Homo-oligomer: A and B are copies of this chain.
């Protein structure tokens, strides 16, 4: 499955890994009523499956991630799939949660078999809008069905069925990944022992809905989007998706983090150059760089579909007739919620609401709010502080 890489810290890495692919035998029934077939799932695994198949942890990625969560990719794409600040100083080809997954790490591969899949609708190996529509022989584009977080989770369920894995010791993820973890606890209560939603929510707050709407509009207003049928035209809505990425990027960080990192430093000199078109402040140049890197590795339609899924996600509406407590009534998993004090996109209050609902139901729940300055990106950056919390939680008896 993996081999130690001598270039990495001894005993701390899962080594060199390779993304693999699996075709689901059956169609996936979607919330919108359509059946999707065929569905291919890109995945990686780290550690060894126990004979009793009871040591499986599923990690779920966020909007811009992929299946490559840990270790060094055999064929590095050259662009990390980490979000935001996390992208910098992060080794080329390293998985987006490499600091969290490996021997002795939060998700300890000496003990657990960690599985990571690219989500349904993705553009990194799992079936999504850029995949071939069997009905036409061309990429789906806007004909791809509108998917939900529950659809992503059902796809993971079907994928694990093929691997012969019935139960999960845990499902964990940050942001949209945390939504998937929560959805697992609700949809498959008998099949997951613990969930760890990090920097996440039961329903995106209206301001987050607004940011996502702006990001999607920016893509769709780009004429190169062509109604979503840009594949093979030699054009793609890079301009619009670049703006979408810049918006996202600023919302993933805190204002103090931007101040600490860039201040109002000018890019090239001590004096302003009186330019409209060129970046003048360091932060302006940084944002453009983030946009340019992102559009090289990501599909705009996947951005649209995934952004839509995470704004639709609303446990109370989907499962509780408007009541979060009712939605969580069937949860059997232990829950560890982690939130970050400076995360204004997925604020700690959302995790507190989940905690209160579960507590009112008498279910085992723990909330840790970590004081950290980097905003939403903390779920990628504050690996050292999350590690002991997660290790202790996983070590608790069920």
Chain A residues within 8 Å of B, Cβ to Cβ: 31-32, 142, 145-146, 203-207, 209-211, 213-214, 216-218, 220-223, 228, 239-240, 242-243, 246-247, 250, 253, 255, 258-259, 261-264, 272, 274-277, 279-281, 283-284, 287-288, 291, 304-305, 308, 311-312, 314, 317, 344, 347
Contact = CB atoms under 8 A, between A and B. Distances in A.
A204 B258 CA distance: 12
Given A217-B246, A314-B264, A210 B284 contact: yes
A218 B206 contact: no
B258 A213 contact: no
> So how many copies of this chain end up in the complex?
2
B274 A220 contact: no
Contacts of A308: 276
Contacts of A142: 276-277
B220 A283 contact: no
B209 A221 contact: no
Contacts of A276: 142, 146, 216, 220, 228, 304-305, 308
A35 to B, nearest CB: 14
Given A264-B314, A305-B276, A344-B255, A250 B211 contact: yes
A262 B206 contact: yes
B210 A250 contact: yes
B283 A209 contact: yes
A11 to B, nearest CB: 40
B213 A146 contact: no
B206 A221 contact: no
Contacts of A275: 146
Contact of A259 (B206, B228, B272): B206
Contacts of A312: 272, 280
Contacts of A263: 206
B243 A207 contact: no
Given A146-B274, A276-B216, A207 B242 contact: no
Contacts of A206: 255, 258-259, 261-264, 281, 283
Contacts of A288: 217
B274 A145 contact: yes
A133 to B, nearest CB: 16
Contacts of A264: 203-204, 206, 209, 314, 317
22 contacts: A142-B277, A204-B264, A205-B258, A206-B259, A206-B283, A207-B253, A209-B264, A209-B281, A209-B284, A213-B284, A217-B243, A218-B218, A218-B243, A220-B277, A221-B222, A221-B240, A222-B239, A228-B276, A240-B243, A247-B247, A280-B311, A280-B312
